[in-house]
Structure 1
């Protein structure tokens, strides 16, 4: 049990980082988009992509590692209902997030290209933004559901 508390702390901190970075970048990306200011949009997408690489990726990797080690230390099974549901939701989040990574990079590139050329953002940008926005909802709801499962541990 000597590693239990450091593992648990790392698990909680990485989940907080995962959720906080996602919520923060989504807020700023949506705010920039709504501003209609091309320089702000391009600048924000550049930072959103950077933040995902710097903060979200490490948290995404740490979550299943620390989670598995905690399950092992506690002698629980992956088939324990709240753990199984959390894993399913984590996979759903991943299925949403992986295309979001590509979308964010593409949105950044479209915004930077428009800014450099002096053109307005086109239909491609608006279409990809709608996909990005739509994929964020199931991911965020799933993260909140996982938090609830971790706290409540329903049978």
Structure 2
């Protein structure tokens, strides 16, 4: 495959990954802030679908295309910016995988509250606290990865 095509795919998938992640987080947070279990459950349902359709494939494409570009350019993994970007990529994954479970849990807890006409439970609030705090290191790590990819500091 041609280098420029793979580079384009890598950049496009990083844009998709970042934009979808930020959009998902925004809409889910806004639904949560409204406090309506029915709205939260519906939004969480869409968020889970969006993660499966867009975020998960983009993660795979990012890793595969990044590895191919690294191999094609002959960049050793010992280079600071690459080594750090890969470490941060795995930090993002370590935050994102539990977030997937937390989103599904929040969806279930909100749907249960909506079905019962009950307020959101303490378990729901704990779930969303974890979701919120796991989002920050992932978001900041993605920002740092973008910086490393562009600046390539030594």
Q: Return the TM-score normalized by structure 2.
A: 0.97
Distance in structure 2 (CA, Å) of the matches to 1:71 and 1:130: 37
Equivalence map 1:66-105=2 (5 Å):
66-105=65-104
Compute the TM-score of the two structures, normalised by the length of structure 1: 0.97
Structure 1 gap ranges (5+): none
Q: CA deviation at 1:36?
A: 1.4
Secondary structure in structure 1 of the residue aligned to 2:107 = helix
Q: Where in structure 1 do 4 or more consecutive aligned residues deviate above 2 Å?
A: none
1:110 CA drift (Å):
0.7
Partner residue of 1:51? 50
Deviation at 1:12, TM superposition (A): 0.7
- In structure 1, what is the equivalent of residue 14 of structure 2? 15
Report the aligned-residue RMSD: 0.9
User: How many residue pairs were aligned?
Assistant: 154
Distance in 1 of aligned mates of 2:150 and 2:86: 15
Q: Structure 2: how far apart are the matches of 1:122 and 1:14?
A: 37
The CA distance in 2 between the partners of 1:36 and 1:118, in whole Å, is 13
Deviation at 1:102, TM superposition (A): 0.5
2:134 alignment counterpart = 135
